[in-house]
Structures are given as C-alpha cells and as structure tokens.
Structure 1
Amino acid sequence: MSTKFPEIQGGGSLILAWQIKNKEVLVVGGGEVAAGRIVNLLNADAKVTVVCPREGLNEEVAYRVDHGQVRHIDRIFLPLDLEPERKVAMVLTAVDDPEASTRIWKYCKEMKIPANIADVPSECDFYFGSVHRDGPLQIMVSTNGNGPRLAAAIRRQIGRMLPKGTGDSIEKVGQLRRRLRRAAPGKSTRDISKRMGWMSAVCDRWSTEDFNAMDDEDMETLVDYYESGKVPSFEEVRLGNRGDVVWEFDGSFGWM
C-alpha cells in the first residue's frame, strides 16, 4: 500500500473544540463527577442547569448553585427537562443509578441531543479528556474511555514539558493577528492566504520568550514588515524600534 498519504487508524474519536458558549447544558446529578463536569462547562461559558435533589449536591456544586453560577432544579430528572422550548444543547449525567442513566440516554437519543453518560462509554456521544489549561491554550488527552486516570498522568507530563509562559505567548499571537487584520483587512482568498502565511512564518521564527517580551511598540513595528513579506527576528524589531536607546552588545542575542 502506498505510504504517500496518512495511514488510517480506526477506533479513534474526532477531537473537536466544541463552542458551547451561551448554550444550554443539562447536568443530571450533583456529586464529585458532576462538579468536575460543571467546571469544564463554566470555563467554556455554557449556561448550566443542574437537576438533582438538594440533598444530593456535594459541597462544590452547592456552592455554585448558591452563588448563581448554575441554575438548580431541586428534583430528579424528568423527560420534560428535554422539551424543545428548553433548547438543551447537551446532556451530562453523573448519577449512581445505571438504569436511570440509560433511560436518560434513550430520551436524549429520541430528542437528538448529544449526551455523555458518566462511566458508560457505550452510552456516550462524546468523551471528556484530561485537559491542560494555560490561558487560551487547551490541550486535551483522550484515551477514548479506556483509561481516564492514565490520561491525567499524560496530561501532567505534557504540561511540564511546555515552555514557561506558553499561554501568555499565545495571547500575544492573538493580539498580533488582530492587529494585522486591522492593518491589512483584505478579504480575498489571496489576502487571507498571505496573512496566514506571514503569521505562520513569524510563529516559526519567534520563540515563546520572544512573544512574551514583545510590547505594543514591538508589535506595531513587526506589522510594518508585513507588506514587504519579510519576517524579522525579535532582535531586529527591538533594535529598530528603540532608536532612543543605546544598546550595548553582550552576546545575549546569540550573534557570532
């Protein structure tokens, strides 16, 4: 078989960044697993409703209810919770009742609502992975339901390997992209390809430390290079942008 194209490895999941902002998500249950799910949902700016008798809420979920971070329905799940007018975009269950969980999953199938039934991979339309978070950076490790504990260990290892300040540098890249679009707002395919190509070249040449050190003046100077197509080094930008500063070479830029 030809090795020209990527080899297909079946059995995986389609890893996506699901934009759930301002969408209604129903969480059934109020224990430790539900608490973890709720944190993930709130970090994604979802509108969360928890269905669970008050006595079933653990300390963390009760805190989020009491502080208005989530809406609470003080009873067990009922099919009416999935009525179309409620506009539920996703359902997560985390209850110690396999039969009840399966019934909820079947209701979701009828309503065509994506669902995750905790600890029952066969009744999940999607899985939660172990996520490393650093500002805008999110890295998810998924074992497709086979080993959540191992996924967490791998996630921690990846986090330790990343350069310090990676999240901050990504913030700077986002600012640079927005500034570039303002400076070169063309919307044709050619314009978009040129912007993407130039940004890719900048990201390839500049390090995490370079982006972290970049300030607004540096950013403006860097964008000025765009029309020429040149991608300067951080040192070229900084030296050219600080004409009022006397630079004393100490070898720190790595020049020979």
Structure 2
Amino acid sequence: MNTLFPIFVKMNQIQTLLVGAGPVGLEKLQAIFRSSPLANVKIVAEEVIPEVFEFIADKESIQLEQRLFEESDLEGKDLVVVASNNPELNKHIRALSINRHILLNVADKPELCDFYLGSIVQKGNLKIGISTNGKSPTMAKRLKEFFNEILPEEIDETLELLQEYRNQLRGDLEHKIKQLNAHTQDIVSKK
C-alpha cells in the first residue's frame, strides 16, 4: 500500500540544499527546475560536472559552493536532496536532517528518504505527480509518457475556461462545488 501523502511545494518560497553535482545531482536539479523554475537551491559539491555549470549559468536562484558538505549547510534549509554515492555521508546527513526536522531525499536510497521525487506530467497549469512508492521509477516514467500522449494540448484552455466559470458562480461553497463537479464530469466523460 502506498501511504505517501502527495503535495505540491512552492519551491520559490523555501530553501533547498542539493548535496552532489555529478550526473545524479544534475538529474535532480533538472527535475526541480522543470517543475519550479524559480526554486531557491544551494548546491554543495566537491566535484561539479561541466553540465551543472552550464545548467546553472543563467539561474540567479541557484548558489553553488564547490567544497565538502558541512553541517552548517543545513542552516535555514527546509528541504535537502542528496545525490552522493558516499553511504557514510548519506547516513550522516540523514541523522542531521532528522535532528533539524528537515525533509530529506537521498537519491536511490528509499530507506533514507522522507519524500520521493516522482514523475511529473505537466501540460500548462495541469500538473500530475506519479509515485510508485519508490518501487519502480521505470513504471512511473512509462505512466508519464502515457499521460503526456493522451492529455490534449488544449487542456490549459479548458482550465482557463473553468476558472472563469468558477469565478462567475454564485451561492455558497457547497453549491459551487456541485456545479463544478457536474460541469467537469461532462468534460471528462465526453469522447
């Protein structure tokens, strides 16, 4: 059973630390910025691949410090993503994060994670998160491809129209919910 609670985080309103700037660190960084182009991220890494330098060149909300991780790097952080192949460092950061009540993701180590970076389907304002509870990132990727194919490009126009409709509705919240449910049911059931 998947007991994860899905949330969408306003990454521009929190402080994120990324430890590691190799290929996996780049992958995590790209995933964050694909969904949240204004995310505030500090990267700490002893070694940085050229692609990371290229990726961050035009992003003012990213700070890079090329050095070893220090405990003080966690100060003021709300979220930590670790892309390190050093098991001792991973466990050390896990312990520090627990003591500071900071949510942690350690790449490819589900047992050390408080959260996972799932696959994301995005078409305009519609965003769908897909989780396999850490069991199969490959299946999540396949589902992402499936949803990207079947969701129409015009979905954003539909969302804009629904927002206008919602803003025009009168009555109490319960009435508005019933109206919106009826209207969206028609949209989804049309073939």
Tell me the TM-score normalised to structure 1 length: 0.65
Letter in 1 for 2:183: V
Structure of greater Rg: 1
**Counterpart residue number, 2:5:** 14
Contact 1:51 1:77 in 2 (8 A): yes
Extract unaligned runs of 5+ from structure 1: 1-9, 185-189, 210-256
- Looking at structure 1, the residues matched to 150 and 164 of structure 2 have their Cα atoms a distance apart, in angstroms, of 25
Aligned partner of 2:69 among 62, 68, 77: 77
Q: Which residue of 2 aligns with 1:27?
A: 18
Structure 2, unmatched stretches of 5+, are: none
**For 1:192, which of 167, 173, 191 is the aligned residue?**
173
Residues 1-256 of structure 1 aligned to structure 2 (within 5 Å): 10-42=1-33, 43-44=35-36, 45-53=38-46, 55-59=47-51, 61-67=52-58, 68-83=60-75, 87-177=76-166, 179-180=167-168, 184=170, 191-206=172-187
Larger fraction in strand:
2
User: Take 1:175 and 1:103, find their aligned partners in 2: how far apart are those partners?
Assistant: 50
Instruction: Tell me which amino acid in the other structure corresponds to 1:79.
Output: E
- The DSSP-based 3-state class of the residue aligned with 2:69 is coil
Conservation of the 8 A alpha-carbon contact between 2:104 and 2:115:
yes
RMSD: 2.3
The whole-number CA distance in structure 1 between the counterparts of 2:126 and 2:189 is 13
Please state how far the C-alpha of 1:163 moved relative to its aligned partner.
Answer: 3.3
- Structure-2 residue corresponding to 1:230: none
Distance in structure 2 (CA, Å) of the matches to 1:50 and 1:123 = 20
SS in 1 for 2:79: strand
Q: Indicate the percent of aligned positions where both proteins have the same amino acid.
A: 25
Q: CA deviation at 1:162?
A: 2.4
How many residues are matched? 187
Contact persistence 1:29–1:57 (CA under 8 A): no
CA-CA distance at 1:80 after TM superposition: 0.6
Tell me, what secondary structure is at the counterpart of 1:156?
Answer: helix
The higher-RCO structure (CA 8 Å, 6+ apart) is 2
TM-score (norm 2): 0.85
Q: From the superposition, tell whether residues 117 and 171 of structure 1 become closer, same or farther in structure 2 (CA, over 3 Å).
A: same
